Amino acid sequence: MSNTNYGLRRLGAGVGLRREHFDDIIDRQPDINWFEVIPENFIGRGGYCADALRKISANYPTVGHGVSLSIGSTDPLDVEHVRRVKQFCDEIGSPWFSDHLCFTMVDHVNLNDLIPLPFTREAVRNVAERVRVVRDILERPFLLENVTYYMTVSKSEMTEPQFIAEILESADCGLLLDVSNVLLNSKNHGFDPIAFIETIPLERVGQMHLAGFEKQGDMLLDTHAKPVSDDTWELFREVIKLTGPSSVLVEWDAELPSLDRLLQEAEMAQRLMDETVSHQTKVTG
């Protein structure tokens, strides 16, 4: 068991902060450990969203999670954007910051989606160099999230877990392990998710994601529109046996349910972590 959580505080289970839930959260102050916040939804904005975030971040731990850093792009890094993210993280007291291991923009054209990188050494060097700049500006730990991919552009030089491991080591950053993405990719591309988990440097895992996905044709799509699936919960249970509890975030972005329904998912994640710790304490105690 790695059990370091990359040196980061273990916040337990939380949920993604979405505009549709602002009023409910402010009015009811639900019992939840923390919220993950997408800076792009707040930077440069005032009014209702900014006011709600001020109120919520005053009462709950909030952690920034970006969607447009485009860390794998070959366009020049948008340093001004990173500086704005740093200021945002300072304002909400985000203890760390994460974004996705992918590119979202290239040739200065925004694709507005998480496009997978080729698993090549050149891509490793490119990402690692950019992560070092980002980390220095942010002045807080930086985590990269493994993404889903529906196509593999290049796997001749290394596999996905090797690609992730090389980047984390050479950039010296942490991993936001999206457990659902591992399971989804394993089903879409036919690999063993447990073997994947055992290959990546678990001591660098500082946060996790769980989300629902859907079958479309012969593929599973990462829609974030459904509850976390039973087999994802199973894999999550196996992962936390290896990593110990972490800061685990349930994502739900489309066909958003009520806050209570979302909180049930977080309760499930917390219960599994508590049970695993309790079981391991009994075994070792």
CB of 80 to another protein, least distance (A): 11
> Quick one: 115 or 259, whose CB is closer to another protein?
115
- The helix or strand, by DSSP H or E, that contains position 250, with its residue range, turns out to be strand 247-251
- Residue (104 or 180) nearer to another protein, CB: 104
Question: What is the number of alpha carbons within 13 Å of residue 122 lying toward its C-beta?
Answer: 7
Q: Is 220 exposed, middle or buried (0-12, 13-18, 19+ CB in 10 A)?
A: buried
> Please, which residue, 13 or 184, has the CB nearer to another protein?
184
* Closest CB to another protein among residues 76, 285: 76
Of residues 220, 146, 155, the one with CA closest to residue 179: 146
Residue 81 or 204 having the CB closest to another protein? 81
Reported as type and span, the H/E element at residue 208 is: strand 205-211
Give dist(CA 36, CA 215) in Å, integer: 26
Nearest-angstrom CA–CA distance, 270 and 169 = 29
Min separation Cβ 106 and another protein, Å: 5
To the nearest whole angstrom, how small is the minimum distance from the Cβ of residue 78 to another protein? 8
Q: Name the minimum Å distance from CB 45 to another protein.
A: 4
Residue whose CB is less far from another protein, 194 or 221: 221
Sign of CA dihedral 36, 37, 39, 40: positive
Taking CA atoms, 277 is separated from 12, 175, 228, 242, in Å, by 12, 21, 21, 11
Minimum distance of another protein from residue 221's CB (angstroms): 8
* Sequential DSSP letters for 164-182: HHHHHHHHT-EEEEEHHHH
Q: Work out how close the CB of 140 gets to another protein at its nearest, in angstroms, rounded to a whole number.
A: 22
Nearer to another protein, 118 or 201 (CB): 118
CB 137, min distance to another protein, A: 18
Please give the residue ranges that form the binding site for another protein (CB under 8 A): 40, 44-51, 67-68, 72-74, 103-113, 115, 117-118, 120, 122-123, 126, 150-154, 156, 219, 221
- Tokens 């304002």 — which residue? 91
